Structure formats: C-alpha cells, structure tokens
Structure 1
C-alpha cells in the first residue's frame, strides 16, 4: 500500500465535512520531548549526538560544535565549524513522523525554492548525498528499551535575525504581516498547481488534529484553569467548530500549507525574508495559515491591525471573500485553543515567559470576544 492511500472513514464524507484520513494522520498525539530535558538554550549537544552528526555529515569533530536553539516538536541545533555558523540541524522527535513524511517535507521545500520567488533554506545533504539520516541511540547513551529510530536533517544556515525578535523595532512593524500574507498566498498558489511525487505523504490539519483528545499537540482541557474559564473556552470551541463544519469556501479550500508561517519562522537579512521551519506542513484549509500567522498574539490590542495587513497582502495574489474571512476567524479561534493545548506538552522555554504566561488568560479573552462577535478580529 502506498503511503498516500486514502482510508475510508467510518462515516460518509460530504463536501461540507472534513477530508478523509490519510496514513500520516494515524500518529499518536505528541508527548513531551524528554531526551533533551536538561539541556538549556545555547548549551552544547550531548556527545552521542555530536558524534552521530559529524560522522554522517563528514565534519571534523574537533572543529565542530552543536548548540541547542530550541526544543518543540523537534530539537534544533546550531552547527558551527571553526566557530562559524555552518548549518541548522533538526533532530526529529522519535516516533512523531516517519522517514517518508520527512522526505515529503523536503521535496516540497525544494520545489518552493525552485518555483516561487520567496526564499527558503537549502537542504544540506549528508556526506554521501542522502538528505535524511536515521540512526539508533544506544543504551549507553541513555536510550530506553524499544526506543524508536532517530531521524535528522540539516539546512543551510540562514543569515540574519528572526523576524519575531526585531519586528517591534522596525519601521511600520505591521506592514511585515502584509508581506507574510503575500508569501502565504504564493505558497498556496504553488500548492494548487504542484503535482507531488509518488509516495508523497504529510499529515492533515483537521479539527480533530487541532483540538480534543486526539489533537496532535495536546488537549487544551489539560491546562490548569478555573471552571468558569473552561466554560467560556468550551462555548467558543463549539461555536468555532460549528462554523468550520459549514464547510470551507470552495475556492479557498484544502491543500498543502506551511501551518506555522509567522514571524518566529521567518529570517530577515537586509530586508530579505526567508521562510523556515516547514516541519508542521501538511494538508489543511488554506486559511489555517491565516490563523497560524497570529499564533499566541490574538489577544493583543494590535492583533486586528496585523490581521488586516495579512489580508491585504494575501489579496494581492489571491481572492478572499467575506465568507472566507468569517471562516478564517473560526479557524483562528481553534488555533488559539490548539496552542493552549500545545503548552500542556511542551517546555516553558519554548516560548518567551511573557507569551507563555499569557496563554490561558489570553485564550479566555479571545474566546469571550469570539462569542460576542465571530468576526471581532477584523472589526
């Protein structure tokens, strides 16, 4: 059976319902990534990882240093040779995605780099030309019995600063969301016209992947909260799900999306933007990328302004109707709950402290506004 074979769902699927399950969607929800639990940002990688990387990529271990950037769905490390940046290594969480799904991501990134006038990072192959490295960690290196194989890929180091870190000091910060909206629309146009190679397989972003017990990153209900907060969030979830179940607008339907295209995943160098971190890419509603662009900041006073800037940029490439925008606002509400669930399965240092601390109260605020006016974000 091919990896992208469609599985017939237990109930009939209509145009207004969600697309059928794919094999990639059978993965269990993410568990906390414990292999690097004691490693802080900027600290050197464990010896077993450095040995594996230098051997696979043909680097001199005496001249190579790996330093942790972040731990989220995966762990990313800055690879330096002779104290100069060389690459960014992504170490995939064992069991989270399989080799076919990782290779599929790399295929899409390469296609975007060839076909779209938007900068994306180059993939750095191993010394033997392979793009993906798979290995098994030994028990001497702390591997528990039955641990799944590890997978790693490397990307060329991108010069510049993370847009999220500098956007507040740039002239007209909200205008960068216009550029993000335009880039997103270019990606969607590419996805509509691109023919994936045989065996291409990425997971989907359906409602059950965003929220609930089977959600990919954790159920928001697991976050500590007061009963009144739970009641408000539950009501907003029900209202947003009802709107989504009415069906995606026909011309803004379902396709391959980045699923996390926001300033933290964009590098800026001399006014040039490079989109990075495609590890969440998969099949979803195109307008889920609108929701993702506002992740963690929907409650902020400036959220409406940057949402409108995003829409202006998107509309410079693709049409958006009033119906589309109502649908986008519902997805934004669900995304907020998705990321609240995300905090139940991820490290606190995966986010700046002030953003982490705002997730529950900010989510309740967003839910209240959504219940009062489903299109409040664009009012």
Structure 2
C-alpha cells in the first residue's frame, strides 16, 4: 500500500502543498512565490503567484497511477496542435528551467515520484448555471473545432491516451472504477443499471466507431473547464482527453446537471453551436441521449471511487438515485 493511501486527505494535501511550493524553484520563480490549491479531484491544481515577478501560472500535480509520462506528453502535444492549427484557446505548458515540460516531484514526505506540469494562466470566468443557453452554444462550437482537428490530425509517433469506449467507461476495464460500487447502490439499482449499461453497449455497437464518429476528444468539456471572456471561449484541463465517440463530449458537457428540466434546450443550443463549425447528422443527433446516460453512469462510478473528494461527497447517494430516475426514462424510449 502506498503512503498516500494511509493518511487522511487533509494530511495528504498539506504534504502535497509543500511539495508544490518546493517545485517552484524549478521554474525560476522567486522565493516569495506561492502555490495555492484551487482544485483536487483526479489531480491537484495550484494557482502559482509570484509578487516579485508579477506572474501567475497554474501547476498541475498528477495523481499517481492514472497517466504515465508518455500519456501526459501526448496530451501536451494535442494541446499544442489545437492552439496552433485550429485556434482553440487553451493553456500552454511552460517548460521548467531544464527545458522539459514534465517534471517528476518527490521529497522526504512524499518519496514516491509524481508527475507535474506548469501551464500559463488564462483569464476569464466560468459560465454561470443561471443562464446556460449561450455557454452551451459556445461549448458546441468549440467542441466542433476540436473534433474537426481530431478528424484531420495525424497522431505523432508514440501518442497514447486512454479509450473511453464502453469497455473503458462502463465495462470490465472501468477507468474510473465500477458503477456497481457507486454510493447508495441497492439490488434494484444494480439490476436497473445493468440493463442500462447493456442497452448503451448495444446502441454504441450499432452506432459504430468510424473515423467521422470516433476519435480524440476532450472527454471532460463541462462548464468547469470552460472560461469565457468577451467573445473568446477558452478550454482548460485536457487530463481526461482520449479516444471516444465525438458525441461523448456533449455527455460530459452535461455532467452533474443531466436532471435539469432545461436539458433539451441545452442540447439544442449545443447542436446549434456545433453546426456552425462542423456537420452533425440527424442520426447522430438522435443518439445524443445515449451519450448523456453513458456519462451519467460513468459518474456514478467516479463518485464511488472518489468518495474522498468534496465533489463526490456533495453528490453522494442522491446522484445514484437520480440516475435511476433518468435510466427509467431512457430505457422506456431506447431499450
């Protein structure tokens, strides 16, 4: 068992914060620079501020065991290509003083090495959930830009990212854990979700994985990973990017809000934005509910395997129960 697994979350984050502070000298920051934790889920993300140099940036320390160095390098290659070739505004990785983009961090408190990447700081604000139609149209447009690039991009040698197909999301591999271990799981839920998972699998098999439908996607393009500033739409956090159906991205856009009564309107807004940039067939549009439910069931698994995070704690058992309601409605129409 690793040292991380036998300490409280609070103690671990305190130690990780000290590791982050120690890493700043590798990037040439002054001794007065600070690293403040702003998010902890898959990884720990820090706002780095240097009052002497007047600079801000973002430090991401990866959790152990999720991505190896080759996969992280592949993520950074796609980010770079999206900025340069498709005009997508996203944070650029910043090299350390030794010229490398990926650092390995360790100290006496946390001796097991973990990867870290520094990114440029992007200005802007996360869209408000009070008025989502405009943001969802932006989401659709920027998703289409990324998908268009993905369809035409030649992958670099050694490129490797995870695969968010049924096997990787809901099946035996289950990258984020098994939905069977979701919070508040009951025998009735297990039976219902097994039927849901199998229906999703059959429909995705029929939908197919042709190059116009399946490729490299952001895989977590929800509002928390979108910044808006004037007419500019900026995308952050490609840590989950991998290979999946392009329409999986609309499922991720609705993460944690799939139950809202205005979801059909949000989907329409997303489609409207998407079609301003790239085509979307009527057949593809009709299958969007499958990708929403695929993501919803995957999040049941994520909550169960990440119960220590504040987000998972806040959603908990109620999210599993809400998923059952949505599953009943979906299966009534699609099974």
Q: TM-score with structure 1 length normalisation?
A: 0.80
Aligned match for 2:109, one of 120, 133, 141: 141
Question: How much does 1:263 deviate?
Answer: 0.7
Match of 2:60 in 1: 90
Note the aligned Cα RMSD (angstroms).
2.5
Question: How much does 1:356 deviate?
Answer: 4.7
Aligned match for 2:50, one of 60, 73, 81: 81
How many pairs are equivalent? 330
Match of 1:153 in 2: 117
Distance in 2 between the 1:199 and 1:308 partners?
Answer: 38
Match of 2:181 in 1: 222
Match of 1:178 in 2: 137
Q: Does structure 2 conserve the Cα–Cα contact (< 8 Å) formed by 1:76 and 1:88?
A: yes
Question: How much does 1:232 deviate?
Answer: 2.0
Q: Does structure 2 conserve the Cα–Cα contact (< 8 Å) formed by 1:45 and 1:66?
A: no
- Deviation digits for residues 50-80 of structure 1, max 9, x if unmatched? 11x122112223x111111111221111111
Q: Does structure 1 conserve the Cα–Cα contact (< 8 Å) formed by 2:306 and 2:312?
A: no
Q: Does structure 1 conserve the Cα–Cα contact (< 8 Å) formed by 2:252 and 2:292?
A: yes
Partner of 2:9, secondary structure, is: coil
Match of 1:59 in 2: 29
Match of 2:241 in 1: 281
Q: Which moved more, 1:337-346 or 1:126-135?
A: 126-135
Distance in 2 between the 1:201 and 1:241 partners?
Answer: 24
Match of 1:305 in 2: 265
Q: 1:270 to 1:355 in 2, by over 3 A?
A: farther
Relative to total residues, which structure has the larger helix share, 1 or 2?
2
Distance in 1 between the 2:304 and 2:227 partners?
Answer: 27
Distance in 2 between the 1:357 and 1:156 partners?
Answer: 37
Partner of 2:244, secondary structure, is: strand
Distance in 2 between the 1:251 and 1:201 partners?
Answer: 17
Distance in 1 between the 2:162 and 2:101 partners?
Answer: 20
